[in-house]
Amino acid sequence: MDLTAAMTRMQSLYAAAPQPLHVEALLFCARRQVSEPDPGTFRVHFGKDGDIDIATVEGGACDCDPLAATRQVCAHLMAVTLYELLREEPGRGLLDGPLLERHIERVVSGSLMMEAPYSVNLTVEDTDGYILQFTVRKQDSKEFFQAAIALRKWVKEQGFGPKQWKAPAQEVPRHEAGTHSPAQTLGGQRPLTFQAATLHRSELDTRILWAVKGPNMPRYNAKFGMRVWDEVLTAAGFDVPALTRMPSTDFPSLVGWVAEYVNKDGEDKPDKIIYLRKG
């Protein structure tokens, strides 16, 4: 088995082990510190500053730390597993050719990894308008969330902002300063406003319903958002059929938009959004 396949297999077998243990196991094999003096009995030579110790791996267990109840897997056991995987390919020596050196560099640098169960893409826009994308991939959930939070903090410190969704180019109604939107005369009410942030979709009896949420929206609508009709979204420049087909995770951000709404007739409760505009 070649090194790439062997490393992938080992990472699958020890998916819960931290990445440094995988690298350490690889280096034990690369430095010829794994041997099999007797069938089924393996020895791993390790140590620092000329102090050499020997760990014996036999029957799937290592004697390096027999009293440690929490350390079920060690780099010695993983090194033996990799050693055996590499020997599965007939006709090729364990360390033949330049393949090992090339892949050691990739593994140590972190570029050779199995598919990570946790990943996130962060797309941002810098002050010059360039679009940048950063990706976090981790095997461990705790490390993943720590790295994702750290990345988000770092991009904010750099002054990067979320990539803003741009509505399809089409004629969007505009109103001159000092006037109100056409909807502001609906029912004789003067609309109230809140800062929009996110768009939400739900389904009721095969009908698609839309709602908008924002940081300073009425508390009455905070849980489910405030209802907005298709024609209001269309008038604001959004492609409603496209929004209906796309995953909710890809919805455009409404940060920077203002939602105008009216109350229910004769009540002091919000009813629906009647106009969306850039704030």
Beta-carbon contacts of residue 37 (< 8 Å; ≥ 6 apart): 43
Query: What is the mean pLDDT of the segment spanning 173-194?
Result: 54
Model confidence at 255: pLDDT above 90 = yes
Residue 63 is predicted with a pLDDT of 81
Sign (positive/negative) of CA torsion 188, 194, 196, 200?
Answer: negative
Beta-carbon contacts of residue 243 (< 8 Å; ≥ 6 apart): 199, 201, 210, 233, 251
Query: What is the mean pLDDT of the segment spanning 5-32?
Result: 84
Full-model pTM: 0.36
Model confidence at 11: pLDDT above 70 = yes
Residue 65 is predicted with a pLDDT of 63
Model confidence at 278: pLDDT above 80 = yes
Write the DSSP symbol of residue 182: G
Beta-carbon contacts of residue 62 (< 8 Å; ≥ 6 apart): 44, 55, 56, 74, 76, 77
In 206-269, at which residue ranges do the beta strands (DSSP E only) sit? 207-213, 226-228, 257-263
Residue 49 is predicted with a pLDDT of 55
User: Residue 62 — very low, low, confident or very high, per pLDDT cuts 50/70/90?
Assistant: confident
Amino acid at 51: D
Query: Is residue 212 within 8 Å of residue 220, measured between CB atoms?
Result: no
Residue 189 is predicted with a pLDDT of 59
User: Residue 168 — very low, low, confident or very high, per pLDDT cuts 50/70/90?
Assistant: very low
Point out the least confidently predicted range of 52-56, 188-192, 217-221, 248-252.
188-192
Residue 239 is predicted with a pLDDT of 93
- Beta strands across the sheet bearing 192-195: 192-195, 257-263, 270-278, 226-228, 207-213, 198-204
Q: How far is CA 16 from CA 73, 86, 117, 233, in A?
A: 10, 21, 11, 47
Q: Which of 43-47, 149-153, 186-190 has the highest mean pLDDT?
A: 149-153
Residue 11 tokens, joined: 């990472």
Write the DSSP symbol of residue 163: P
Model confidence at 184: pLDDT above 60 = no
Angle at 38 between CA 32 and CA 42, to 5 degrees: 45
Model confidence at 57: pLDDT above 80 = yes
What SS3 state is found at 192?
Answer: strand
Distance CA 68, CA 62 (A): 11
pLDDT digit string, tens, across residues 102-117 = 555 555 555 444 455 6
Distance in angstroms between the alpha carbons of the first and the last residue of the chain: 61
User: Residue 90 — very low, low, confident or very high, per pLDDT cuts 50/70/90?
Assistant: low
